[in-house]
Amino acid sequence: MSEERRPSYEEVVRELEELKAVLAALQSGQADTLLGSSDSSAVEIYRVISEQQEAERTELIRRLEHLSRIKSDFLALVSHELRTPLAILQEAVNLILDGLVGRCDEGVKACLVMAQSNILRLGAIVNDLLDMAALEAGRLKVTKEKENIQLLVEDSLKTFQSSAGEKQVRLSFETGKDAVYYAPVDRNRILQVLTNLFGNALKFVRPGEGIIQARVLRENGWIRIEIEDNGCGIRKEDKEKVFQRFEQAGGRGPAPAGGTGLGLAIAKEIVELHGGRMGVSSEYGKGSTFFFLLPTASRELPDRQ
């Protein structure tokens, strides 16, 4: 029986050195560079480990994707089931308030007005959840048509006139005088973006001294829509956060915040579905300017600011 040759001290040290190098590379995520460069047993061990890890990773991703799909479907289903009863409730309250089912005294009316505004709020939340579910599932589509963006922004601003009046907030609109700015957009979706931005601006300005300025400008073949307010502003560290889902970071303003924290996340995704970009510049305590860019044609995006 031939006795197995015992490795020399140098060979053991070399093998250990290689193993150490492979482990270091494994930890730093650069082990791929070692593969192919050597065929030692240490590399073979690494290869087996990394194949196992890869299989586990793939399985984990598959399960996470499955769970995410279940969550989106569940969200869509629940939101959908809430929409119908809400619509019926709203209709019933409207009928009573309009006096179509008989007279009701002022006390009852006051209660119903309160119920009506909460039904509307709940409806808006359900719509946000439905949109979010559709976005996650890649089901939210935009149907673009050529629109006059200046008119779109002005129309949206007008819908805020009475609530701004109640809060004694000044609204203004500026745009280039000599040109009409057209862009291919989904009218209702861009109105949704504008409604969120104006709604937020109004929510975070102080009553009696609030100023909200909307601007439509041209920027290298892009249309830039800006909504500036002199409200509570957003802290530097919260600027990215406010565009994330369910985040209400920046403006614990003078008014109770309300809302779901979904509006800006949805607005940003809608703008991106148009091939555009959304952002904010803000000084905490002084105000914020939310902006978004819409392409008028297929051009490159300007640099990030």
Ligand X SMILES: Nc1ncnc2c1ncn2[C@@H]1O[C@H](COP(=O)(O)OP(=O)(O)O)[C@@H](O)[C@H]1O
Question: Residue from 248, 273, 275, 281 that binds ligand X (CB under 6 A)?
Answer: 248
Q: Is 288 in the site for ligand X (CB under 6 A)?
A: yes
Tokens at 20, concatenated: 């150490």
Residue 288: contacted member of Mg ion, ligand X, none (CB under 5 to 8 Å, by partner type): ligand X
Question: Cα dist. 193→78, 126, 183 in Å?
Answer: 24, 16, 15
Three-state secondary-structure class, residue 224: strand
232 and 204 in contact (C-beta within 8 Å)? yes
Tokens at 65, concatenated: 């994707």
Question: Residue from 123, 184, 259, 279 that binds ligand X (CB under 6 A)?
Answer: 259
Dihedral of CA 210/292/160/99: which sign? negative
Tokens at 252, concatenated: 């614990």
Count of residues touching Mg ion (by CB under 5 A): 4
**Beta carbons within 8 Å of 203's beta carbon, 6+ residues apart:** 231, 251, 253, 255, 257, 258, 259
Based on CB atoms, which residue is closest to ligand X, 263 or 295?
Answer: 263
Residues 182-221 touching Mg ion, rule: CB under 5 A, are: 196, 200
Residue 249: contacted member of Mg ion, ligand X, none (CB under 5 to 8 Å, by partner type): ligand X
Question: Residue from 34, 147, 251, 294 that binds ligand X (CB under 6 A)?
Answer: 251
Quick note: the x/- pattern for Mg ion over 243-262, rule CB under 5 A, is ----------------x---
Which of 28-36, 38-46, 60-68, 232-240 is the region at the interface with ligand X (rule: CB under 6 A)? 232-240
Secondary structure letter of residue 148 according to DSSP? E
Dihedral of CA 7/8/13/17: which sign? negative
Q: How many CA atoms does the CB half-sphere of 134 hold within 13 Å? A: 16
Three-state secondary-structure class, residue 182: strand
Residue 242: contacted member of Mg ion, ligand X, none (CB under 5 to 8 Å, by partner type): ligand X
Count of residues touching ligand X (by CB under 6 A): 24
Size of the chain in residues: 305
Least distance CB 241 / ligand X (angstroms): 8
Tokens 């089901």 label which residue? 139
Q: How many helices (H) and strands (E) does the chain have?
A: 7, 7
Which of 72-80, 147-155, 161-169, 230-238 is the region at the interface with ligand X (rule: CB under 6 A)? 230-238
Which of 61-69, 149-157, 158-166, 258-266 is the region at the interface with ligand X (rule: CB under 6 A)? 258-266
Which of 133-141, 178-186, 213-221, 226-234 is the region at the interface with ligand X (rule: CB under 6 A)? 226-234
Least distance CB 294 / Mg ion (angstroms): 20
What gap in Å lies between CA 197 and CA 116, rounded to an integer? 23
Question: Residue from 257, 286, 299, 301 that binds ligand X (CB under 6 A)?
Answer: 257
Residue 201: contacted member of ligand X, Mg ion, none (CB under 5 to 8 Å, by partner type): ligand X
221 and 297 in contact (C-beta within 8 Å)? yes
By CB under 6 A, name the binding residues for ligand X. 196, 200-201, 204, 229, 231-234, 242, 247-251, 257, 259-265, 288
